[in-house]
Amino acid sequence: MRKGFLSFGCVLMASFYFAQNSSITGQITGEGIAKNAVGVYLEGTDYSTFSDSLGVYSFNDLPADQYKMRVKLSNFQPFYKNVVLKEGENLSIDVNMKPFDRGSDIEDVVVTGTLKAVRRSESPVAVEVYSPAYFKKNPTPNIFDALQNVNGVRPQLNCNICSTGDIHINGLEGPYTMILIDGMPIVSSLGTVYGMSGIPNSLVERIEIVKGPASSLYGSEAVGGLINVITKNPQNAPLFSADLFSTTWGEYNLDVGFKFNAGKKAQVLTGINYFNYQNKIDNNNDNFTDVTLQDRISVFQKWNFKRKENRLFTVAARYMYEDRWGGDVRYNKSYRGGDEIYAESIYTNRAELFGNYQLPVKDKMFFGFSFVNHDQDSRYGTTSYIANQKIAFGQLTWDKKIGNHDLLAGAALRYTFYDDNTAGTSTILGENEPENTWLPGIFVQDEIALAEDHKLLLGFRYDYNNIHGSIFTPRLAYKWSVNKNNIFRLNAGTGFRVVNLFTEDHAALTGARDIVILNDLKPEQSYNVNLNYIKKMYFSTGGNITLDASAFYTYFTNRIVPDYESNTSQIIYDNIDGNAISKGFSLNADLNFANGLKFILGGTLMENTITTNGFTEHQILTEKFMGTWAVSYKIRPWNTSIDYTGNIYGPMRLPLLGDLDPRKPYSPWWSIQNIQFTYEGFKQFEVYAGVKNILNWTPNKGNPFIISRTNDPFDQQVQFDSNGQAIATPDNPYALTFDPNYVYAPNQGIRGFLGVRFNIK
């Protein structure tokens, strides 16, 4: 009986506690149309949210207080309202946005360009922002696949068998792209190649992309650009969400998220992603899997702590485990690492911890921190690659405004431990010698308001690498707002990057080629410049167009590029005897019409060349043109949305195995296109279905094969000359060895998909 009364009392106390929480809900409309993905903010607090597909927003579990609510939307006048919220009160405030006679500023808040929260229109650095709503137009199980719909960004597959990959920006390979999570540099080296597919879409609030130099703020790896994955704030996340979809190929993906209060001063958001694909498909009849089999789970949790004066304190952790393999369709785990049945099997264990703490002082001072432990256990046929990488990072920043100067200064320390079973971490005597790299640094940035429409940003960073010494990376940015509808930005800076060969280049481990390093690999150095122009136009009918154009140029004084062609049985690495240049032009167009039709179009022309000994050639596995599009239309009477997405790529020069190789030396023009139908007529969930790769395009079209000599993956029947080159024989008429590095596109054909999303606000 006593236990019963105690339980009943606990329930009453809990009910009383939750009953005291207040809320604000409502719907946002403009010109009679519900507006989705509109930011709603309670100024002076950390509370913010976005409207859903029906225009509905909500703030739950608010303490009783006085608030100033702010709603801003492009092309509409800003909405402000003072709100007095009583204890236990549930207010309903609908917002009817009134259109501007002329355009308004883009009011997205971004942090990546300047390491502080600013309105996107006011940032002197051009930052592209992508919300989860954009990636839902073509649902994917992870961030790596989702980025295929971003202009100038290409997820590059590096192996036809195990499907590892990296992210290219404007034609520069993955190692030149810095991947951040909440501003912390925790995805690099091993994580870039083997961990990107483990970042689930469910934890993403938005993705910010900076194309071009960012080394003065973020360090040496941000040469080509950076991608900052901003995770969800527990205050803005739904109480519970689930997203489940599967494809006709047998892929299954589940995202689950939920939040709860841990006492009165902490909110906790948990996200779980599970992906499974175990279907051995061999449509090109080479006896090897067309798509890598995967079994992956990722668990994410983020804590937000309430502090005095709304100071920030967040801590997040993520764990990922993945078991993936590809190869001979007869493979099972009993053959792992043996020379009987060829397969590439990769076990990944990855743990991350990161957070941000605002110091209890008058000025804005923040301490960001992260720690990563990445374990890799891989077999590429008989080649064993076992590696461990630990990265610890801490950064203290100070943000201060003095007159027309907006100052940001900071100090950072990064420690990297790396060990593997390759020659990369062994001495001349063959003894194991793990790498221990210390990288302390300081940086300062001054954003100067020269005039009302002119801003100048000057930045400087100094790092000291305990192996390579001092690293200087200056930065300059200038923004000229001609008016609200015309903005120019100019960015310039330098880059510096230390190459980590075996962790960054998958080709160094797979296949039958030998690895040759001719000299000590020196750090890569570059100079970058980027010019950006944004133009906004508005129509009397209620529609609008936003044009975003950029010209970019990067000059490398040293670059490490794999040489596949000097000796077809080797991959040769050396410092460049000359220079490398990456240059081009990109254009994004965002067209919105009053009838609900929307176009997001993008195209990038680029040229990536390498000059050695006076001879210039286009870089291998790099396209000269890429384009992306997303066309959306909402049929409001049917509560149905239609999304048609796709990309197109120009020819790339491909790595052949000699003059007799019958495969094409250049890829053709190719395109992946998708269509999706989403029904939103239910109260708390939506159903979506569609077709991926409508054209059923795969890279084996027009080629006799993609992977060479799958019938002899251990090269037991290959004959070699005195120089180690394969020679033609009746059994091997093209003088080939086993090689899976002829890869430029996914090898997965047409497939249908069906999914359901469920949300409890």
Task: Please give the Cα distance from 532 to 81 (Å, whole number).
Answer: 35
Task: Say yes or no: 337 and 205 in one domain.
Answer: no
Does 407 reside within a domain? yes
pLDDT digit string, tens, across residues 735-753: 999 988 888 888 999 999 9
Per-residue confidence at 13, pLDDT binned at 50, 70, 90? very low
pLDDT higher than threshold 50 for residue 8:
no
pLDDT higher than threshold 70 for residue 257:
yes
The predicted model gives 144-158 an average pLDDT of: 88
Specify the pLDDT at position 735: 94
The predicted model gives 170-178 an average pLDDT of: 80
Task: Say yes or no: 210 and 262 in one domain.
Answer: no
Per-residue confidence at 189, pLDDT binned at 50, 70, 90? low
Q: Which of 453-457, 680-684, 750-754 has the largest mean confidence?
A: 750-754
Amino acid at 520: D
pLDDT higher than threshold 60 for residue 101:
no
Is the Cβ–Cβ distance between 200 and 141 less than 8 Å?
yes
Q: Look up tokens 């989702």; give the residue.
A: 146
Per-residue confidence at 754, pLDDT binned at 50, 70, 90? very high
Number of domains in the chain: 3
pLDDT higher than threshold 90 for residue 725:
no
Task: Please give the Cα distance from 649 to 326 (Å, whole number).
Answer: 26
The predicted model gives 462-471 an average pLDDT of: 86
The predicted model gives 212-227 an average pLDDT of: 69
Task: Say yes or no: 225 and 277 in one domain.
Answer: no
Is the Cβ–Cβ distance between 462 and 441 less than 8 Å?
yes
Specify the pLDDT at position 341: 96
Per-residue confidence at 12, pLDDT binned at 50, 70, 90? very low
Q: Name the more confident of 259 and 216.
A: 259
Task: Please give the Cα distance from 164 to 645 (Å, whole number).
Answer: 24
Is the Cβ–Cβ distance between 699 and 670 less than 8 Å?
yes
pLDDT higher than threshold 60 for residue 5:
no
Task: Say yes or no: 592 and 683 in one domain.
Answer: yes
Nearest to 353 by CA among 394, 312, 315: 315
Task: Say yes or no: 39 and 179 in one domain.
Answer: no
* Of 155-164, 385-394, 535-544, minimum mean pLDDT range: 535-544
Task: Say yes or no: 246 and 220 in one domain.
Answer: no
Task: Please give the Cα distance from 537 to 320 (Å, whole number).
Answer: 45
Task: Say yes or no: 69 and 182 in one domain.
Answer: no
Does 2 reside within a domain? no
The domain boundary, picked from 97, 125, 153, lies at 97
pLDDT digit string, tens, across residues 360-371: 999 999 999 999
Specify the pLDDT at position 129: 87
Q: Which of 120-124, 490-494, 519-523, 674-678 has the largest mean confidence?
A: 674-678
Task: Please give the Cα distance from 76 to 28 (Å, whole number).
Answer: 12
Q: Name the more confident of 595 and 336.
A: 336
Phi, psi of 78 (to 5 degrees): -65, 150
Q: Look up tokens 């804005």; give the residue.
A: 364
Nearest to 675 by CA among 64, 16, 139, 123: 139
Is the Cβ–Cβ distance between 156 and 168 less than 8 Å?
yes
Specify the pLDDT at position 108: 61
The helix or strand, by DSSP H or E, that contains position 143, with its residue range, turns out to be helix 143-146
- Percent of the chain scored above 70 by pLDDT? 88
* Of 151-165, 242-256, 271-285, 545-559, minimum mean pLDDT range: 151-165
Task: Say yes or no: 300 and 373 in one domain.
Answer: yes
The domain boundary, picked from 229, 251, 286, lies at 229
pLDDT higher than threshold 50 for residue 103:
no
* Of 71-85, 110-124, 385-399, minimum mean pLDDT range: 110-124
Q: Look up tokens 């668990």; give the residue.
A: 299
pLDDT digit string, tens, across residues 330-356: 999 999 999 999 999 999 999 999 999
Maximal CA-CA distance, the chain: 92
pLDDT higher than threshold 60 for residue 313:
yes
pLDDT higher than threshold 90 for residue 471:
no
Specify the pLDDT at position 512: 52
pLDDT higher than threshold 80 for residue 3:
no
Does 371 reside within a domain? yes
Nearest to 67 by CA among 48, 49, 42: 42
Specify the pLDDT at position 503: 55
Task: Say yes or no: 390 and 421 in one domain.
Answer: yes
Q: Which of 66-75, 203-212, 676-685 has the largest mean confidence?
A: 676-685
pLDDT higher than threshold 70 for residue 629:
yes
Specify the pLDDT at position 194: 59
pLDDT higher than threshold 90 for residue 251:
yes
How large is the C-alpha radius of gyration of the chain? 27
DSSP type of residue 164: -
The predicted model gives 552-568 an average pLDDT of: 78
Specify the pLDDT at position 561: 72
pTM: 0.82
155: domain CATH number is 2.170.130.10
37: domain CATH number is 2.60.40.10
Does 722 reside within a domain? yes
pLDDT higher than threshold 70 for residue 102:
no
pLDDT higher than threshold 50 for residue 212:
yes
Does 81 reside within a domain? yes
pLDDT higher than threshold 50 for residue 188:
yes
Q: Name the more confident of 658 and 244.
A: 244
Task: Say yes or no: 328 and 286 in one domain.
Answer: yes
User: β-strand 48-50 against 56-62: which pairing, if any?
Assistant: unpaired
In this structure, what token pair is assigned to residue 754? 């069906």
Task: Say yes or no: 235 and 224 in one domain.
Answer: no
* DSSP letters spanning 15-69: HHHHHT-EEEEEEEEETTEE--S-EEEETTSS-EEE--TTSEEEEEEEPSEEEEE
Does 8 reside within a domain? no
Task: Say yes or no: 490 and 378 in one domain.
Answer: yes
Does 537 reside within a domain? yes
Q: What is the mean pLDDT of the chain?
A: 85
Task: Please give the Cα distance from 579 to 554 (Å, whole number).
Answer: 11
The domain boundary, picked from 42, 75, 97, lies at 97
In this structure, what token pair is assigned to residue 111? 């942090």
Whole domain around residue 683: which residue ranges?
230-735+747-760
Phi, psi of 738 (to 5 degrees): -65, 130
Does 251 reside within a domain? yes
Amino acid at 508: A
The predicted model gives 140-156 an average pLDDT of: 89
For residue 101, CA distances in Å to 13, 104, 107, 489, 542 come to 53, 9, 17, 26, 10
pLDDT higher than threshold 80 for residue 709:
yes
